[in-house]
Amino acid sequence: MKFSVLSTLFLATVATALPSSEVERSTSFNATVLACKALKLVYSTQVFFPGEANYTAENEHFWTPTDYLSPTCVFTPKCTTDVSSAILILTGLKATFAVRGGGHMPIPGYANTIGGVLIGLTDLNEIQLSSDNSYVSVGPGRRWEEVYAYLEPYGLVALGGRVGIVGVPGLLLGGGISFYSNQHGFASDNVVAYEVVLASGKIVTATSTQYSDLFWALKGGGNSFGIVTRFDLLTYTSPTVCAGITEIPSTEKDLFLSAVANFGQYGSADPKAAVIPSIFMLASLNITVYTSALFYDGTNCTQPALANVTAIPAIENTYGSTTLATYVEGTDALIADGTRQAFRVVSSLATAEALSIVHDTFVDMVTANIWDVAGLQASVAFQPVTKNFIQQGINKGGNPQGVDISKAPYFWMVENFSWTDPADDATIYAFAAQVTDIIEAKLSAAGQAAQYHYMNDAGLGQEIFQNYGAGNLAKLRSIRAKYDPLKVYTNLMPGGWKVDAA
């Protein structure tokens, strides 16, 4: 509270000294520089400038170096009030800013800024199980591996990333695909409350009964509405699971693709089962292999739902009994960190025909066009999405994604590109857009396309909100207008998927 009062007083002083007309007129006036000075005065140990070790650490707290930019300063709030005060200072001075959670969205400028203030949420790291164990309150500085490790002693889980290093806030604001989604829907369908700092600086808690329009919008509407400072997540009992990764040689391609197509069609018979099958192309070794994460929520790992995949002769298969926390800890080591990365999404009906279009087009085009790019890894992960996944969201009050249940099941695919030389950035971005356009055109021509584009796996320029359920974009925009009439989180915080830019 002390900081809030101080900064508000400071802001009032600044505002009196510098009428907003002067902001436009003066050439010496720089809103960001002044905002950094103001923040530094109030929060002397929480504001960092270029050259300081903590500035570098915060600016490079991203999955991919494509996201390291050049904020004028970094502010690291330690509590919700700090965020609220910072918003008052930033809006009062009309300074631009960005907000970063786990830093895993691989789009430059979506959670960082050139010349603005970077708000790094690292220190908002609350994690607390409710007294009745029914939900866990998590701050946006947390990563999923920390949530799972915290819940493990209680035999509980919450719905979140299938990779532990991913940040909590970004995943939830775009929906969130979990190993438990076929049972319980999007991770965001399982949020029971959001604490949010609105553009006015006001701190509110949105639930299904208070600020319920905001609550609905945050389940998949992204960062146009406020800064979320706490998520309350439903917990589920899941003390042991079966999980692991199988790696299948290219000689078994046909068996692999048919098992994936079958899982897409029939996997919903057992919602406790989940797979993330991928084509994985490694240019330096001139190889393509097929991998799949395999998951079952239970103690008996011999399950008919996964049998078609586990029956394929594998190079390696680590599937077996474990806990969610142990599994993600083990796979973190396998996830690239420090190389350049880009994503792109495609979605289709969950059929063998769609799978073969995506597979053949992707493999042929990668080999023909970018195989010589230094350090290239290219993959497509096919995420099977069942009817029950979507039905769960409807049962829990609905979400802005409003995925069409009538055409389910789907594959929501993410193309991943990873490379090493910044000089290849333009080549990869152009290729990623091109191969995606061609795949989408072929899927459409074959009647295999699906409309939904998953925000969190998307690449720059893809249409996200345009493909949400009918009417939902207009609804999101009106909720944005209600809670942020001056477009603070749209114009002063330009990074991210914005409902007004769709």
Ligand X SMILES: *[C@@H]1O[C@H](CO)[C@@H](O)[C@H](O)[C@H]1NC(C)=O
Ligand Y SMILES: Cc1cc2nc3c(=O)[nH]c(=O)nc-3n(C[C@H](O)[C@H](O)[C@H](O)COP(=O)(O)OP(=O)(O)OC[C@H]3O[C@@H](n4cnc5c(N)ncnc54)[C@H](O)[C@@H]3O)c2cc1C
Indicate the Cα dihedral angle 8, 11, 15, 18, nearest 10°: 170
Cα separation, 496 vs 377, whole angstroms: 25
Residue 273: CB atoms within 10 Å: 26
Which run of H or of E encompasses 34?
A: helix 31-42
Q: Report the site for ligand X in 341-360 (rule: CB under 6 A).
A: none
Q: Which of 95, 227, 309, 464 binds ligand Y (CB under 6 A)?
A: 227
Site string for ligand X, 104-123 (x = CB under 6 A): -----------x--------
Q: By CB under 6 A, is residue 74 in contact with ligand Y?
A: no
Phi, psi dihedrals of residue 54, rounded to the nearest 5°: -70, -30
Q: Report the site for ligand X in 363-382 (rule: CB under 6 A).
A: 379, 381
CB of residue 18 vs ligand X: minimum separation in angstroms?
15
Q: By CB under 6 A, is residue 233 in contact with ligand Y?
A: no
CA 311, 316, 322, 325 torsion-angle sign: negative
Cα separation, 38 vs 459, whole angstroms: 35
45 binds, among ligand Y, ligand X, none (CB under 5 to 8 A by kind): ligand X
409 binds, among ligand Y, ligand X, none (CB under 5 to 8 A by kind): none
Phi, psi dihedrals of residue 435, rounded to the nearest 5°: -65, -35
Q: By CB under 6 A, is residue 141 in contact with ligand Y?
A: no
The tokens describing 92, both together, are 């009062």
Q: By CB under 6 A, is residue 286 in contact with ligand X?
A: yes
Q: Which stretch binds ligand Y (CB under 6 A): 1-9, 97-105, 248-256, 465-473?
A: 97-105
102 binds, among ligand Y, ligand X, none (CB under 5 to 8 A by kind): ligand Y
Q: By CB under 6 A, is residue 99 in contact with ligand Y?
A: yes
Name the DSSP letter for residue 488.
I
Q: By CB under 6 A, is residue 308 in contact with ligand X?
A: yes
Q: Which of 8, 14, 18, 54 binds ligand X (CB under 6 A)?
A: 54
Q: Which stretch binds ligand Y (CB under 6 A): 172-180, 207-215, 398-406, 433-441?
A: 172-180
Give the count of alpha carbons within 13 A of 362, CB side only.
29
Residue by residue, what is the 3-state secondary structure of 196-235? Answer: EECCCCCEEEECCCCCHHHHHHCCCCCCCCCEEEEEEEEC
Which run of H or of E encompasses 236?
A: strand 236-237
Q: Report the site for ligand Y in 145-164 (rule: CB under 6 A).
A: 161-163
Q: Which stretch binds ligand Y (CB under 6 A): 103-111, 146-154, 256-264, 314-322?
A: 103-111
- Nearest Cα neighbor of 102 from 238, 231, 196 is 231
Cα separation, 13 vs 20, whole angstroms: 13
Cα separation, 362 vs 283, whole angstroms: 14
Q: Which is nearer to ligand Y, 109 or 249 (CB)?
A: 109
Cα separation, 24 vs 306, whole angstroms: 62
Q: Which stretch binds ligand Y (CB under 6 A): 170-178, 250-258, 349-357, 371-379?
A: 170-178
Q: By CB under 6 A, is residue 30 in contact with ligand X?
A: yes
Cα separation, 120 vs 100, whole angstroms: 5
Q: By CB under 6 A, is residue 396 in contact with ligand Y?
A: no
Q: Which is nearer to ligand Y, 169 or 402 (CB)?
A: 169
Q: Which of 71, 92, 108, 170 binds ligand Y (CB under 6 A)?
A: 170
Q: Which of 83, 206, 242, 414 binds ligand X (CB under 6 A)?
A: 414
Cα separation, 70 vs 315, whole angstroms: 44
The partner residues of 292 in beta bridges, in order of sequence, read 246, 277
Cα separation, 68 vs 59, whole angstroms: 6
The partner residues of 281 in beta bridges, in order of sequence, read 288, 378
The tokens describing 396, both together, are 């829990």
Name the DSSP letter for residue 227.
E
Q: By CB under 6 A, is residue 163 in contact with ligand X?
A: yes
Q: Which is nearer to ligand X, 163 or 390 (CB)?
A: 163
Q: By CB under 6 A, is residue 131 in contact with ligand X?
A: no
Q: Which of 92, 103, 108, 116 binds ligand Y (CB under 6 A)?
A: 103
Task: List contacts with ligand X (CB under 6 A).
Answer: 30, 32-33, 45, 54, 57, 72, 115, 162-163, 262-263, 266-267, 278, 280, 286, 300, 302, 304-305, 308, 379, 381, 414, 416, 457
Task: List contacts with ligand Y (CB under 6 A).
Answer: 63, 99-105, 110-111, 121, 140, 161-163, 166-167, 169-171, 173-174, 176-177, 223, 227-228, 335, 456-457, 495-496
